[in-house]
């Protein structure tokens, strides 16, 4: 177990901070967009089946 913790600590210390920061930012943006879509689809006037009508 101690070896795994040491390995994890080493990985974190060697992380490319700008890359990790960009990935986190993109993940947060995607989560926000997904939450917005879900909220839009959950509203009674904009259900998914209404959106699919021609």
Q: Is 37 strand, coil or helix?
A: helix
CA atoms within 13 A on the CB side of 15: 14
* Structural domain boundaries in the chain: 17-54
Residues whose CB falls within 8 Å of the CB of residue 40, separated by 6 or more in sequence, listed in order: 46
Q: Is the pTM of this model over 0.85?
A: no
What are the Cα distances from residue 30, in Å, to 2, 22, 26?
35, 12, 6
pLDDT in tens, 5-45: 888 778 777 888 888 899 999 999 999 999 998 888 777 66
């Amino acid at each position: 177990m101690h070896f795994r913790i040491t390995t994890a600590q080493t990985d974190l210390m060697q992380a490319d901070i700008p890359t990790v920061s960009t990935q986190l930012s993109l993940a947060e943006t995607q989560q926000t967009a997904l939450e917005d879509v879900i909220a839009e689809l959950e509203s009674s006037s904009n259900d998914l089946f209404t959106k699919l009508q021609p």
